[in-house]
Chains A and B, each alone.
Chain A
Amino acid sequence: MQTEDDTGPSDSPRQHARAAELEFRNVSKRYPGADKPALRDLSFKVPAGEICVLVGPSGCGKTTAMRMVNRMIDITEGDILLDGKSVLGRKPSELRREIGYVIQQIGLFPHLSIGDNIATVPRLLGWDRKRIDARVDELLELISLPEETKDRYPAEVSGGQRQRVGVARALAADPPLMLMDEPFGAIDPITRERLQNEFLRLQETLRKTIVFVTHDIDEAIKMGDRIAIMREGGVLVQYDTPERILAEPADEFVARFVGLDRGLKRLALSRLADLSLDDADSVRDGTPAPGQADPDRVVFVDAQSRPVGRLGRDREPEPIGPVGSPDTSLRDALSLIMSDGNRPLVVVDADGAVAGVARLEVIAGALAIHNGRDASTEMRS
């Protein structure tokens, strides 16, 4: 505990992000009395700082696999290594203090204030009071909760806030690895989406190694740098990046699990910024030059080059409809184009100025390009 204090994180996680590489090595789990193993010969590596999503139908052993990492469940065979060191030689309670732990029901301690909840692991590690106070304040800021929330009890804050506190509590001692078991599972869809986005933004600065369990393939695709797809009986079927799992499902099971709309899901992974746009014909004043080659590319703009209108089907000017931004996903862009009679989508840059137009063919072509790039540049792990 003392060494943890000495070599532990400095005051800011943003500057001193630590992350560990995680490796499952031929891990099996058999429960006494069960005729089939719960996990069969699981082997994969999660590079430091990446989110690995374990996904699969219920009974596939994804939660079991996750809980073996911090030894909440004993390993029957094989080994799990953290930065090359086996977790088996460690005292479970000490190992767990170095691994963030978030569960679906959150499990905040109802008798402790939000601040005391967050301070749980630092207290176990024997940090001094000043350091704990500073850390709690910092984490509250990180999860954008007002400071006075510190003295509230969990029952006094909203479900979304409780979930954020659960994440903050897991991050408190700046662990190199986080385990998250369906952390956004019990939350309404709108709040879930917000929390997912918040968490991804957080992860951009924290760069933790994260094992994330879910049964929702869309969440897996959204959150994961890598996805491990498991099936009943504790078998790992495919371990890959979301792009590759969508582009090249390893077998019928994966193809069915990711769904028939996997093409659309792949489009959701790319943004308009990844696309080469066609130039728009910006018209600042008056009417477009007669004999315009492609009326669909004509965009009327104001003095700041912001789109104000375009040519309608009847070749008459009409007000501008929805426009895309570099952050718009290709899936959303496709949807906008198709609901606008397949006309190219006008795309604006960060300042709102016209950047170009995205054509249906170019978006459809992006799928093919992804296939080619993935196959040639990325080796399967």
Chain B
Amino acid sequence: MFKFLAQTFVNGINVGALYGLAAVGLSLIFGVMRILNVAHGEFLMIGGYIGFWLFTLYGLDPFMGLPLVAIFLFLFGAVFYKVVFARVARFHEELKLKNSLLIGFGLYLIFPQIAMVLWTSDERAISPVYSGKAFGILGLRFGYVPLGGILVALIVIIALQLFLTKTYFGKSLRGTAENWKAAKLSGIDIDRTFMITFGLGISLAGLAGVLIGLIQELTPVMGIPWTLKALVVVVLAGMGSIGGAFIAGLILGIVEAVSAIFMGPYTIAIGMLIFLIILMVRPQGLFGRT
């Protein structure tokens, strides 16, 4: 029984790291821009398919292909910001949130259709030769692919944290998140900051997409469940808390995995339950500021 629980725990961490990675991108965009990107999961789906293409068409190892996916999605996000969100981002807070939500829902309707044309609605998977291989320690099974996923997620989160706390540009992102007017008066180009933030957030979603494609199937409609998961994690962590979002992702992953033992298919309700309880009891989230 103990071994079974421990194995479930390990599996939960695998999925939780991906929840965290997906949520961090959403949290970053919301924290800096006050735009809730409800099409976050759609960008994640596109990242997954790009990884799938790189692997199947060019034989590129999915982990080696991650930097390419990150760069491509960053540029895609930055251009997308310029074309679609730049005007909205100039509106005042309430109008900005409302309009960006509507745009996000629009994208959520459009992107899966485009994905169906490009990749059909068949389930796709990124399956290199080592997928499914594992090694054992103390009788627990550690798959290479999930372990790689956790490692990548950790490296990305630590790199992001260092970028935000140690570099001049990263600090300007945090400043913009705290007080955009003060940021403007400090000589920070808000429009450029927003563009790069959006690119970064989308890039993180894309990375999560590839890692997900390694352990689950990719489909054109996979986006919205991931948006919801990311949203639950962000609410759990508190809007705008980057490190917190990752830890909250791990928590959700573990809680879901363990509760699946008792609840089976009803596990999906657990996330929503946490979401509701946190909103009622601690609306600023576990790591948020009051």
Q: Do A and B come from one complex?
A: no
Query: Which residues on A are within 8 Å of B, measured CB to CB?
Result: none
Query: Which residues on B are within 8 Å of A, measured CB to CB?
Result: none
